Structure 1
Amino acid sequence: MTDERPLYERDPVAWRAHLAEGNAKQARKRVGADVLIRNALGDVLLVNPRYKPDWDLPGGMVEANEPPDHAAEREVREELGLHLRVGALLVIDWVAPHGPWDDSLMFVFNGGTIAEGSPTPQPLDGELLACQFTPLTQARSMLRPYLWDRLDQAVAAALTGAPRYLTNGRPRDSA
């Protein structure tokens, strides 16, 4: 008669080995976490990184075993001195392999609105050349098309309260 119990009950050591093998073989993705921060006029905060040719949303790459929302908070604190707790998830964007990069997942969280009269955040470390609040109409010309699409979808998600799943910045049915 065979033992019908699941492997994890029959042989915990074999089960751990099975999980370790799966963990070693399964895909590992780069993950980024950005934050949509606006001012009282509805302008969006953009940053100009030293290491890339175009403006971007504040945020950065998630470190190993770090939750994306914590990474977003850490990045805006390190780069801009903003101590904020991010709000709702607005966007998850699957970015296809491009150039030397494998695919990645990009998260955009709601960073809320900076109160009128508050000082504009300033770059704190060497990663950023500048940052500024920018009207949406102007942001389009400052961002790469896929980043503009991601930002546009994040703003729409913030207004509706419904997060968006994107592929290369576009809603899945239009990607």
Structure 2
Amino acid sequence: MNDDRPLYQRDPAAWNAYLAEGNAKQARKRVGADVLIRDEDNRILLVNPRYKPDWDLPGGMVEANEPPHKAAERELREELGLEIQVRKILAIDWVAPHGPWDDSLMFIFDGGTISSQQSTKLKPTDNELLEYKFCTPREAEELLQPKLWNRVQYAISNSDKSPYLSNGVALKNAPSTE
């Protein structure tokens, strides 16, 4: 008798083996999760990492099997002692391979506005950060790499549009995340 059911219904063990093979062979993406946080004067929180030459948004790399929004919250806790829940996605940027790095997906989440009381309690809490500061957009543009500044600028000014970018540039008719 011919069984027309899909493999996952006919033979769950074979289906799991198929998935495991695909998981082992398919490309994996590096994923970063940053947070756009502002102070009461609408300045942007930037951090100066010890391990690279440029300023950055707070956040970092997502660990294996960790949701990007949870990675962003974890990084804020670990690096600045800041406990917040991130809000919506402001930007998702596909970054092409560069130097020794493969391509990646970089998220920017909305971290809202923190009070002056919260900002005075900020401090680097691990060895990854040299310092942090709140910057005007003009100051941020001077401190950030151009591709990151493009991503941040998009996140600031296009929060009502599709958050999908490619190398810091919004795509026309980009897929919606709504």
TM-score tier after normalising by the smaller chain length: over 0.9
* TM-score normalised by L of structure 1: 0.93
Aligned runs of 1:137-148 on 2, under 5 Å?
Answer: 137-148=138-149
**Displacement after TM superposition at 1:117 (Å):** 4.4
* TM-score normalised by L of structure 2: 0.91
- In the alignment, which residue of structure 1 is the partner of 2:127? 126
Equivalent pairs: percent with the same residue? 63
Would the aligned equivalents of 1:120 and 1:132 in 2 still touch at CA under 8 Å?
A: no
Structure 2 runs not aligned, ≥5 long: 173-178
- In the alignment, which residue of structure 2 is the partner of 1:103? 103
**Displacement after TM superposition at 1:55 (Å):** 0.4
| Deviation readout 1:38-67 (Å, 9 max, x if unpaired) | 011110000000111110000000011100
Structure 1 runs not aligned, ≥5 long: none
* Alpha-carbon distance in 1 for matches of 2:162, 2:114: 21
Q: Which runs of 4+ in 1 moved over 4 A?
A: none
Equivalent residue letter for 1:122:
K
Task: Indicate the SS of the match to 2:77.
Answer: helix
- In the alignment, which residue of structure 2 is the partner of 1:55? 55
* Alpha-carbon distance in 1 for matches of 2:140, 2:148: 10
Would the aligned equivalents of 1:69 and 1:86 in 2 still touch at CA under 8 Å?
A: yes
Compared CA separation, residues 117 and 15, structure 1 to 2 (3 A): closer
**Displacement after TM superposition at 1:9 (Å):** 1.6
Aligned residues: 171
- Superposition RMSD in Å: 1.3
* Alpha-carbon distance in 2 for matches of 1:120, 1:136: 23
Compared CA separation, residues 31 and 95, structure 1 to 2 (3 A): same
* Alpha-carbon distance in 2 for matches of 1:121, 1:50: 17
